Amino acid sequence: QPSTEKHRPQIHFTPEEKWMNDPNGMVYYKGKYHLFYQYFPGGTKWGPMHWGHASSKDLVHWDRLPVALYPDSLGLIFSGSAVVDSLNTSGFGKDGKTPLVAIFTHHDMKGERAKRNDFQNQSIAYSLDEGLTWKKYAGNPVLKNPGIVDFRDPKVSWYAEQKKWIMTLATKDRITFYSSPDLKDWKKESEFGEKLGAHGGVWECPDLFPLMLNGKKYYVLLISINPGAPNGGSGTQYFVGDFDGSKFTPLQEETRWIDYGTDNYAGITWANTGNRKVFIGWMNNWTYANEVPTESWRGATTIARELKLFNDKNGISLSTEPVKELAVLAKATINLPKAVRAGLSKPLNKTSLSGPYKLQLQTNGLASFSVVLSNTAKNKLVVGYDKAGNRFYIDRRAAGNNDFNKEFAKIHYAPRISAGKTISLTLYVDVASVELFADNGSSVMTDIFFPEKPLGLISVQAPAALILKDFSYTPLKSIW
CB of 153 to ligand FRU, least distance (A): 5
Per annotation, catalytic residue among 22, 207, 263, 439: 22
The three-state secondary structure class of 277 is coil
Known active-site residue 22:
yes
Is 189 a residue that touches ligand FRU (CB under 6 A)?
Answer: no
CB of 152 to ligand FRU, least distance (A): 5
Smaller CB separation from ligand FRU, 226 or 433: 226
Residues in Cβ contact with 373 at an 8 Å cutoff, skipping those fewer than 6 apart: 380, 381, 382, 383, 429, 434, 455, 456, 457, 458
Locate all alpha helices (DSSP H) within 99-252, ordered by sequence.
109-113
Is 298 a residue that touches ligand FRU (CB under 6 A)?
Answer: no
Sign, CA torsion 174/179/182/184: negative
Is 19 a residue that touches ligand FRU (CB under 6 A)?
Answer: no
Residue 330 CA from chain centroid, whole number: 22
Of 10, 38, 121, 374, which lies in the binding site for ligand FRU, with binding defined by CB under 6 A? Answer: 38
Is 208 a residue that touches ligand FRU (CB under 6 A)?
Answer: no
CB of 38 to ligand FRU, least distance (A): 4
CB of 451 to ligand FRU, least distance (A): 26
Of 10, 55, 56, 79, which lies in the binding site for ligand FRU, with binding defined by CB under 6 A? Answer: 79
Smaller CB separation from ligand FRU, 204 or 306: 204
- For 255, phi then psi, to 5°, come to -85, 135
41 to 70: interface string for ligand FRU, x by CB under 6 A: --------x---------------------
CB of 76 to ligand FRU, least distance (A): 8
Among the listed residues 3, 11, 1, the one whose alpha carbon sits nearest the alpha carbon of residue 329: 11
Is 272 a residue that touches ligand FRU (CB under 6 A)?
Answer: no
Residues in Cβ contact with 140 at an 8 Å cutoff, skipping those fewer than 6 apart: 74, 106, 121, 123, 124
User: Contacts with ligand FRU in 141-160 (CB under 6 A)?
Assistant: 152-153
Sign, CA torsion 204/207/213/215: positive
Residues in Cβ contact with 153 at an 8 Å cutoff, skipping those fewer than 6 apart: 22, 78, 79, 80, 105, 169, 170, 204, 205, 206
Is 219 a residue that touches ligand FRU (CB under 6 A)?
Answer: no
CB of 310 to ligand FRU, least distance (A): 28
Edge-to-edge order in the sheet of strand 297-298 = 63-69, 50-56, 32-40, 18-29, 297-298
Is 105 a residue that touches ligand FRU (CB under 6 A)?
Answer: yes
The three-state secondary structure class of 363 is strand
Contacts with ligand FRU by CB under 6 A lie at 21-22, 38, 49, 78-79, 105, 152-153, 204-205, 266
User: Could you give the residue numbers annotated as active site?
Assistant: 22
